[in-house]
Structure 1
Amino acid sequence: MGMLKEFRDFIARGNVMDMAVGIIMGAAFTAIVTSLVDDLVNPLIGFFVGGIDFSDQVIRFGEGENAATFRYGNFINAVIKFAIVAWVVFLLVKGVNKIKEAALADVEEPEPEEPDAPSQEQLLTEIRDILKRDAEPAGEGG
């Protein structure tokens, strides 16, 4: 029973749930990025470089069914997808950091108050009391 309790506690932690949500969102985001690259970016790049579709770019070594195929076009697509994902993640992190900074600025910690300096009257009273004490003969007072 102890193992099940530990497992339940592990799953119930907030950071595990956040990670699960992040993985699910990442999978959904991958589909969006794939469509963005395949359906929008590649045709746009292809237009500017003379109609080249990167996914079809290959170098064949040999002939027939057993020929080795070097699909550098798919690699170019993967690099483009990575660059887009990296850029979007950078923007998301930057945005989240701005939101955090704004939230922290709103909750400004109160600065500890410095004790007020004694007034002139308090200082003069203390000096008078010290002078009186020092002026008293040793036998008096007490």
Structure 2
Amino acid sequence: MLKEFKEFAIKGNVLDLAIGVVIGGAFGKIVTSLVNDIIMPLVGALTGGVNFTYLKFTIKEAHGSVPAVTLNYGNFIQNTIDFLIIAFSIFLFVKLINKLKREKKEEVVKEEAPKPSPEVLLLEEIRDLLKK
């Protein structure tokens, strides 16, 4: 069982997945910073200095030690923008990878095309001469 687990863990798919998770986590932090530190302040400036993170609708006011019940729709807006940027970035990345794969596949197909034998070339020349 240990041997099977070792073979499974060393397979390329598992390593690729692990690398993807680590890079994805770091990418998420970058996008969150982009949204929080660059995009949302600009949006806030355009909307009169509104900070979306603190936007909320109070359903029930706080009473004593009982906290208020709120709908934090500003946080939802912030997270939705994060998601849209991440999804769009992944879309562009996948599109680029697919384009590179297509180009490489086309190159391989061109390289794999069999070259005609000298006899075939000679027969083609004769055919072309006969057509003239």
TM, length-normalised to structure 2: 0.80
Q: What one-letter code is carried by the residue in structure 1 that aligns with 2:85? A: I
Could you list the structure 1 runs, at least 4 aligned residues long, displaced by more than 3 angstroms after superposition.
Answer: 111-116
Give the gaps of 5 or more residues in structure 2: 124-132
Q: Distance in 1 between matches of 2:19 and 2:78?
A: 27
Calculate the aligned-residue CA RMSD, in Å: 2.1
Match of 2:113 among 110, 113, 134: 110
Identity %: 43
In structure 2, the partner of 1:100 is: 101
Q: Distance in 2 between matches of 1:12 and 1:42?
A: 42
In structure 2, the partner of 1:42 is: 40
Match of 1:59 among 57, 60, 68: 57
Q: Which moved more, 1:43-52 or 1:3-12?
A: 43-52
1:1-142 equivalences in 2 (<5 Å): 3-64=1-62, 65-108=66-109, 109-111=112-114, 116=120
Q: Distance in 2 between matches of 1:51 and 1:112?
A: 69
Say which one has the larger Rg.
1
Q: Distance in 2 between matches of 1:50 and 1:21?
A: 42
CA offset at residue 107 of structure 1?
A: 1.4
CA offset at residue 111 of structure 1?
A: 5.0
Query: SS of the residue aligned with 1:69?
Result: strand
Query: SS of the residue aligned with 1:22?
Result: helix
Higher normalized helix content (fraction of residues): 2
